[in-house]
Amino acid sequence: MRRWRALALVVALSRVAIFIACARAPAAFTAALARRVELTSAVDALRRTLEGAHARAVFGASAYDGSAFHGHPFVVFAVERMARWAGSGTATSGVGVELATASAWLAADSVALALLCALATTVTTDMDGVFRVCALYALNPINAMALMARSNAAVGRACVFASAFAASRGYVVAAGVASAMAMQMQPHVVVIVPALALMCSRHEWRRWATLGGACAATHCASAVVMGDDFSKWWSSAVLFAVRSEDQTPNLGLHWYLFTTMFDHFREFYVVALNAAPLALAAPLAYRFSNRPLTALVLSLIVATICAPYPTLSDVVTYMSLLSVIAIDESGNPLAYMKGGVLIAGGFLYALLLSPIVWYMWIHTRVANANFFYAITLVFAITQLVLLGQVTQSVVAFDRARKLTKKTR
């Protein structure tokens, strides 16, 4: 009971601290965070969402007209509701609108935290482990900065956690609905579907069919609800991400390739970078069929490496799930990992140096695109090392368990 009280206190204090930071931080500071490509992107930035809401409220046009907004219609709907609650008539500007929207994303992040805690209880009965998982997420400074930057990535993360929790509990329909919403919020997470199918059942094809049917039904229902905006959402959000149409420099691999390569190579890289995660999703699920959550995390890492607009929020998502894997009641499958200092150093390198090099490149003009792309390469290589180490550790752990059983 004391552990749960301490956990509730830690979570409550972290939520209050983030809300106070969002409310009391200088506008220039939050605006600077909102411009950081490590925290927000073309698909989750509040500035673009407000432009879409402005087009709807003032001109009566679609949020996708003008090629500014590239997110899900739910995000615009939420911003409009928050604007009315804040007392703004047009949902286009104002500190009240931004604070109300930040509060909504903070609420979504709190839901994601609750789902992560519930998911942790499915792999262990040790409340100390659950406490560590939830505390690590609640006190994550990267997540706090993303919320202060008004990124809506927490909504997609909540959908991913909901699908994993529902699948682990055997709630197949709920897992299908949640995974469909996750795919609509963040198209690259389609790679989690094979792992979710194994989490629902390893052999029962009827459950797989139910999962696919629930997912397809949710997409069809979304198309009906969106109405005329469905085709615009498909072209302005899904195809926008697949084709990597926004070449603003970010932590991904796409922008440099598509701005420096000849045009006739573009389609090749578009296909290659999008096909790689999809091609690896099923083999990873098959190899780790006895550990579907591990397969899901590995698929997310590959998807983040190849995503056109990755942010550190994507890293927070799969790192949170890795912490759940580490508290497995049968033992820690990540105990055989090596190179922790190298991996931590790679992420710190990208986190600390990317804003410095960005300033040197964009503002003082003493650096160039090659310097910034070197950081994105380090970011990708660090995730590749993490991918390899997690895979090697889980395989070694399972092999050691089998040897132990044989000796008995």
**Which region holds residue 175: left if phi is over 0, alpha if psi is between -120 and 50, else beta?**
alpha
Q: How many beta carbons lie within 10 A of that of residue 193, not counting itself?
A: 25
The reported pLDDT for the residue numbered 378 is 95
Question: What are 298's two structure tokens?
Answer: 């590995």
Residue range 171-190: mean pLDDT, rounded? 93
The reported pLDDT for the residue numbered 301 is 97
Confidence of residue 87 (pLDDT cuts 50, 70, 90): low
Answer whether residue 47 shows pLDDT above 90.
Answer: no
Sign of the CA dihedral 282, 285, 286, 287? positive
Q: How far is residue 357's CA from residue 250's CA, in Å, rounded to a whole number?
A: 12
**Which region holds residue 135: left if phi is over 0, alpha if psi is between -120 and 50, else beta?**
alpha
- Domain layout of the chain by residue ranges: 2-332
What's the pTM value of the predicted model, to 2 decimals?
Answer: 0.93
Mean pLDDT of the chain: 87
Are 44 and 314 in contact, with CB atoms under 8 Å apart? no
Are 143 and 126 in contact, with CB atoms under 8 Å apart? no
Closest CA to 296 of 384, 183, 193, 165: 193
Answer whether residue 89 shows pLDDT above 70.
Answer: no
Confidence of residue 192 (pLDDT cuts 50, 70, 90): very high
Answer whether residue 360 shows pLDDT above 70.
Answer: yes
Answer whether residue 93 shows pLDDT above 70.
Answer: no
Q: How far is residue 292's CA from residue 303's CA, in Å, rounded to a whole number?
A: 16
Answer whether residue 3 shows pLDDT above 80.
Answer: no
Residue range 324-328: mean pLDDT, rounded? 92
* pLDDT-above-90 percentage for the chain: 48
* pLDDT-above-70 percentage for the chain: 95
The reported pLDDT for the residue numbered 96 is 67
Q: How far is residue 39's CA from residue 152's CA, in Å, rounded to a whole number?
A: 10
Question: What are 303's two structure tokens?
Answer: 């998807």
pLDDT tens digits, 269-280: 888 889 999 999
Q: How far is residue 214's CA from residue 240's CA, in Å, rounded to a whole number?
A: 25
Half-sphere exposure of 406 (CA within 13 A, CB side): 6
Greater pLDDT, 90 or 177 = 177
Confidence of residue 91 (pLDDT cuts 50, 70, 90): very low
Q: How far is residue 391's CA from residue 397's CA, in Å, rounded to a whole number?
A: 10
Question: What are 154's two structure tokens?
Answer: 């927490």
pLDDT tens digits, 370-402: 999 999 999 999 999 999 999 999 999 999 888
Residue range 18-39: mean pLDDT, rounded? 84
Closest CA to 310 of 347, 361, 360: 347
The reported pLDDT for the residue numbered 92 is 53
Pick the range with the lowest mean pLDDT from 163-172, 258-267, 310-319.
258-267
The reported pLDDT for the residue numbered 88 is 53
- Over the range 92-130, which residues count as b (16 or more CB within 10 Å of their CB) and which as e? bebeebbbbbbbbbbbbbbbbbbbbbbbbbebbeeeebb
The reported pLDDT for the residue numbered 395 is 94
Answer whether residue 90 shows pLDDT above 80.
Answer: no
Greater pLDDT, 165 or 126 = 165
The reported pLDDT for the residue numbered 173 is 93
Answer whether residue 292 shows pLDDT above 90.
Answer: yes
Closest CA to 308 of 186, 143, 149: 186
Residue range 90-99: mean pLDDT, rounded? 61
pLDDT tens digits, 201-223: 777 788 889 999 999 999 999 99
- Over the range 141-151, which residues count as b (16 or more CB within 10 Å of their CB) and which as e? ebbbbbbbbbb
Answer whether residue 283 shows pLDDT above 80.
Answer: yes
pLDDT tens digits, 108-118: 999 999 999 99
Q: How many beta carbons lie within 10 A of that of residue 324, not counting itself?
A: 25
Greater pLDDT, 191 or 124 = 191
